[in-house]
């Protein structure tokens, strides 16, 4: 498989006038296993955790979190979308964010005022950092999470501790498993269909991708068969939020 093809698809995409929201089987896609944070989890849980880190919510504009995840991977328009929580009044003022929403974009973080704040915060030792410094570093980390989402889609077991993300080649001189080739080709097809705004093409490619990922991680899926639906149910039910609400009542 060729990571160059994937890179060209992602880099060559152009912003669309309205955000592409294809119909796909998000439930099936949400069951794809991902290795993240030192453990294996379903893609839906991964998507919810990343969205919480980026936008401060497990969903965005009522979409399936898996749909939003792929949108952030494939659509360069997110560079201009004000979704990152600024987290400090001074940042809101300097980056000219909406005082109510308090959100900024990746593009905003390339401004001179933010780069000065970032440089100042990084020069200080941890004990010397102010609340503004910490907010700046936290915002920068949120931006990195958004920008590097495709690199964290580690869905292919490698026989080692660290799984492979899309476009990464397995180490060793043995033949590459056909399921790995299939998964990477399908993911590249998903990116292409998203760029073209092709709902049918994306739906077909996403089914192929989910199937290839399931084949590649068949052993791991068997080990976690009972835990995958439990974790997905946990995130959907959000028991701690309900418990907190009942506590206040």
Helix axis angle for 131-147 and 43-55, nearest 10°, is 140
Tell me 79's DSSP state: G
Amino acid 13: pLDDT: 44
Give the angle 134-149-189 at the CA atoms, nearest 5°. 165
Q: Which of 81, 108, 85, 78 is nearest to 95 (CA)?
A: 108
Amino acid 224: pLDDT: 65
Give the angle 78-166-150 at the CA atoms, nearest 5°. 20
Cα torsion through 48, 63, 192, 179, rounded to 10? 50
**Whole-structure pTM over 0.85, yes or no?**
no
Amino acid 229: pLDDT: 63
Amino acid 128: pLDDT: 94
Angstrom distance (rounded) from CA 126 to CA 86: 20
20 and 205 in contact (C-beta within 8 Å)? no
**Average pLDDT per 10 consecutive residues for the chain, totaling 249 residues:** 45 52 90 89 93 92 93 93 91 90 92 93 93 95 94 88 85 77 95 94 96 92 66 60 69
Amino acid 172: pLDDT: 60
Q: Which of 231, 218, 144, 147 is nearest to 183 (CA)?
A: 218
Residues in the chain: 249
Amino acid 12: pLDDT: 46
Other Cβ atoms within 10 Å of 210 Cβ, number:
21
Amino acid 231: pLDDT: 61
């Amino acid at each position: 498989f060729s990571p160059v093809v994937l890179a060209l698809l992602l880099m060559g995409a152009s912003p669309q006038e309205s955000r592409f929201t294809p119909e796909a089987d998000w439930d099936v896609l949400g069951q794809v296993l991902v290795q993240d944070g030192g453990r294996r989890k379903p893609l839906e849980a991964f998507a919810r955790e990343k969205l919480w880190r980026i936008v401060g919510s497990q969903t965005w504009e009522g979409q399936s979190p898996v749909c939003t995840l792929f949108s952030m991977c494939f659509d360069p328009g997110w560079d201009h979308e004000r979704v990152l929580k600024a987290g400090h009044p001074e940042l809101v003022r300097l980056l000219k964010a909406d005082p109510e929403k308090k959100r900024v974009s990746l593009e905003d973080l390339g401004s001179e005022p933010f780069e000065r704040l970032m440089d100042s915060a990084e020069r200080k030792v941890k004990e010397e950092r102010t609340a503004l410094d910490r907010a700046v570093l936290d915002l920068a980390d949120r931006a990195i999470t958004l920008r590097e989402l495709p690199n964290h889609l580690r869905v292919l077991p490698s026989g080692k501790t660290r799984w492979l993300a899309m476009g990464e080649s397995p180490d060793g001189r043995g033949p590459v498993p056909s399921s790995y080739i299939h998964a990477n080709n399908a993911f590249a097809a998903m990116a292409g269909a998203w760029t073209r705004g092709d709902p049918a093409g994306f739906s077909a490619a996403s089914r192929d991708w989910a199937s290839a990922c399931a084949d590649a991680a068949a052993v791991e899926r068997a080990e976690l068969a009972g835990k995958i639906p439990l974790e997905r149910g946990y995130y959907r039910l959000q028991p701690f939020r309900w418990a907190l609400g009942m506590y206040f009542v």
